[in-house]
Structure 1
């Protein structure tokens, strides 16, 4: 089989396409004939050794896949050859065939395409865990989403609306804001690109307050970080919850006196670790997401697909923050 491999730390240009031996299923495993691979921000980090996990090389990036079960190992129950499934290995997915523990596999709804299946779990799983379990978002509350056109940000916009919140979408271009409004956001604003001085940050905070209303945001979903964090924190309401999701613009330094003055909670969101620590809660959340999908309240937006041979270009496009919604790598059957 063919595999996209990271053999040395570096950017997408360091990835290589090689032939590897086909996997065989061990006890409790299934082999997936991979048809689509979702590209996520951790893929840009893990190949540079900047992610929380550092797998031994050579390894394949690719944290979520959709495909068809090709073989079933000893002791596996309820899964059969030919089943259409989703799996979230964390990494290793940019291969033509993948061995995964059967317990981690989720059957796909018949109406769901492989591209949608590969674009669902990590972004919506992260955002639902953040909004439901970490922030306890309530109907009628105001949610400010930073990076609202990216994978997790777009999912947060849709889920926020599905949960009954008023959603304000913030992004770096008019096209991205329009994209978020099409997803259902109630209001949107464009924030400046690049670094900001204190005067620019103060001005942005005023824009956040204007967009979210007199009292400010009850919940901030920050998938951007950098100089955008403090203005968003300053624009929060009393007892607000600030969700720390990601840092493509850099790791911010927050003035903690603001959390005291507004009784604001700063809350970390590490979905991958939460899944491992509480599989039952994760399964319940997945059931909710599939229900919302069936009801038409959420739908993965795959804005761009790349063939398997161009997987490095797909990761680069995400790292360059060009994407709106999800980028997916497809593999011909």
Structure 2
């Protein structure tokens, strides 16, 4: 535990010179211990960059984070490892994103999967390309699915499915990766009937799904109400025009170009007044002049609409107005809503089709049926020309993609082409035992849903969950019910992993007919805070699940023959994230316990994870994602998370396998995330353990530096006058504060406004203090930084005084 604690404390206070020694007591004498302590103290005084030692038989060992080539060579293939393959009907392939392009992997084992009872397997003949998918492929968004509309033929039917048969041609929602064969909930499909066009219906689904849900379900749009549809809302905006007309409302559309205006007039029979071209007049005023109303009854927007325009329309929305914000949002680009419209009874409602699928998929089934009903009545038709492109040309289709108001719909067709697909070579695939039980601890949330679904695809059929609250929570109850519906046996054992008797009772509850073969321990509690102010209660609450829980599981399973034992650790323990000393200590203990089990010939891997995007705790707390990104730390998505689980489970059967696997420390991605965070001095970068990693990062980006302290202090000292020195220090400091606190640069008042008034709290303060020490060689107490009289200018004066520059006053 001490290693993780020490790393976190030193990252909170970089001026602290702290060294840890870990002794192998079985092979180290008292004299060797004394000698080692003296040697370490001398090294510490001499200024060595090492801060952690492991001592065995008098020999010092140091730690380095290096690439695990034996694992990477087998499981992590570079992009150039693909081979060209001509597509043929019947191939089983699934798409994957690599550097902004889609390659395909063979998916032969999916043919052996047991279908969930309510699902069917569809062989795709056509799939829609949507804005949501393009964002994922281009790297602008993190969901793991990038195809959402499917048309095809049923090849297999689940045991509880009625109304569908093998050979039926169907269309519907399917959240996949352009796989050739997709397992789809039967509620999200409809059969094609005489007179239907498979391509036309497929092209409608995402656009009309968003428009219907936004206008009909959320806005409850009424006849004669005005609807303002914003430029940038894409094909969903086009569908919103048509739905407004069908619901006898009056649509007004903000467009970007004359070409868009010309198309909308012709296709939707809109008047000149209903189309708002960009001018010097604010959009809200244009709408008022065109409609005669002070504000729109409903505004239809999306995550890609210009935020300033969206805010303007929200501020001017009418009494009891409804602002509908559809589609994906970037957490770092969200702005604070003006609260005034709420006082007029206005509502702001945000949704995303991907979230509806994840949380309430039955709603999508209703939207599907309503859309097809409108199509068959002749009320709606495709939104412009449909381009059918062979799947081999997917990357070209992504590059050319547009969903502005003048564009049509792109469909990918699964047909032979002279152009080959890029198909990756296959890697070892893990299989679970259908007659075994797998114990999951702390997995009744988003992680559990993802993990159990993935394990079932690979053969697992029985799960035991150990949880303090059991299925009391709504999400836990839904997860368990969904796993049962999918055909798996489930035991939910109410108990606390930190209580020895509860753990023993849970293991005894597993029937001998289905013996326990694997364990995933993912229980965690976050109680973040700086160490100097952390309470004992918060320390214990966070560390107990990881420390005592792991001890209890290890002891209770000594006589159990397992295939794998996984503990989910975190890079918090490896890096020493500021404000998480308790969490870091618990994770470091998990890493050590995994090593201990290995030494005793027990299977174990500590899976060291970064933040996970889109599923689990971070997905439910976007402010954590924002804080970590600000530190230059990147996250992994659900797909990479499951790949990490697969590797960590598979290697435990191999002799000499690693006892821990660190994920999320790819040099090129770290370099990119540091650049995007506008920082070159990550809190961990001076730690000698990461020397090899940093060397690789610098080799990839030779212009990068580890900091700028020498240059800024030289500028301060070279200034002609003390006043100029203060100005240089102030400007540099305000640049950092602006990035760190996301406060516009022009809002700073360096002479009059105290630093704490810009939103500086203790967590950000720790990061800022470390930066100050690196940049200005000044160790300033946090309370002094938050002082009532501490302005930017006064702080700059302290910096200059610390450099021996005499500042008057």
Shorter-chain TM-score bucket reads: 0.7 to 0.9
Partner of 1:88: 173
> Taking structure 1 as reference, are residues 209 and 316 closer, same or farther at Cα in structure 2, changes over 3 Å only?
farther
Q: Of residues 216, 226, 238 in structure 1, which corresponds to 2:295? A: 216
Distance 1:46 1:246 in 2: 13
Q: Find out whether 1:231 has 2:338 as its counterpart.
A: no
Q: Is the 8 A contact 2:122 2:183 kept in 1?
A: yes
Give 1:296 shift: 1.5
| Corresponding position: 1:129 with 2:210 | no
Size of the aligned set, in residue pairs, is 316
Q: Is the 8 A contact 1:149 1:180 kept in 2?
A: no
Q: Quick check: 1:225–1:252 contact (8 Å CA) kept in 2?
A: no
Q: Does 1:26 align with 2:114?
A: yes
Matched, 1:253 2:335: yes
1:178–1:112: structure 2 CA closer, same or farther, 3 Å change rule? farther
Q: Matches of residues 68-217 of structure 1 in structure 2 within 5 Å?
A: 68-92=153-177, 94-147=178-231, 150-181=234-265, 182-186=267-271, 187-191=274-278, 203-217=282-296
Tell me which residue corresponds to 1:44. 134
- Deviation readout 1:74-96 (Å, 9 max, x if unpaired): 4432211221112322222x133
Q: Is the 8 A contact 1:32 1:70 kept in 2?
A: yes
| CA separation of 1:150 and 1:179: change in aligned 2, threshold 3 A | farther
Measure, in 1, the Cα distance between the counterparts of 2:328 and 2:359.
Answer: 23
Distance 1:316 1:248 in 2: 21
2:374 is aligned to 292
Q: Matched residues in 2 for 1:278 and 1:31: separation?
A: 21
Q: Deviations over 1:282-302 (max 9, x none)?
A: 444433322221221111225
Q: Which moved more, 1:232-241 or 1:215-224?
A: 232-241
**Residue 147 of structure 2: aligned partner:** 62
- Matches of 1:248 and 1:276, distance apart in 2: 16
More strand by share: 1
The two structures have a TM-score, normalised by structure 1, of 0.82
CA contact (8 A) 2:127 2:151 kept: yes
Structure 1 contact 65–117 (Cα < 8 Å) conserved:
no
Task: Assess if the C-alpha contact under 8 Å between 2:233 and 2:305 holds in 1.
Answer: no
Instruction: Give 5+ residue unaligned stretches, structure 1.
Output: 193-199
Q: Do the aligned partners of 2:128 and 2:150 also contact (CA within 8 Å) in 1? A: yes
Unpaired segments ≥5 residues, structure 2: 1-90, 417-809
1:331 counterpart residue number: 414
Shift of 1:41: 1.4
Deviating more after overlay: 319-328 vs 152-161: 319-328
Out of 391, 410, 417, the position equivalent to 1:308 is 391
1:277-332 Cα shifts (integer Å, max 9, x gaps) = 44554444433322221221111225333221111222233368586242221222
Q: Give 1:167 shift.
A: 0.8
CA distance in 1, matches of 2:357, 2:411: 23
Distance 1:326 1:133, change over 3 A: same
- Give yes or no for the alignment of 1:274 onto 2:353: no
Contact 2:260 2:405 in 1 (8 A): no
Query: What's the CA shift for 1:242?
Result: 0.8
CA RMSD of aligned residues (A): 3.0
Q: Give the Cα separation in 2 of the matches to 1:109 and 1:254.
A: 48
1:196 corresponds in structure 2 to none
Relative to structure 1, the CA distance from residue 154 to residue 110 in structure 2 (aligned partners, 3 Å threshold; closer, same or farther) is farther
Shift of 1:129: 0.6
Contact 1:34 1:68 in 2 (8 A): yes
The residue that corresponds to 1:242 in the other structure is: 323
Distance 1:283 1:104, change over 3 A: closer
Name the structure where helix makes up a greater proportion of residues. 2
Q: Distance in 1 between matches of 2:109 and 2:247?
A: 43
Q: CA–CA distance in 1 between the matches of 2:374 and 2:184?
A: 26
Moved more, 276-285 or 170-179: 276-285
Distance 2:109 2:169 in 1: 19
**Contact 1:225/1:251, CA 8 A, preserved across alignment:** no
Is contact 1:308–1:330 with CA below 8 Å preserved after alignment?
yes
Tell me which structure has the larger Cα radius of gyration. Answer: 2
Cα distance between partner residues in 1 of 2:299 and 2:244: 11
1:197 aligned residue = none
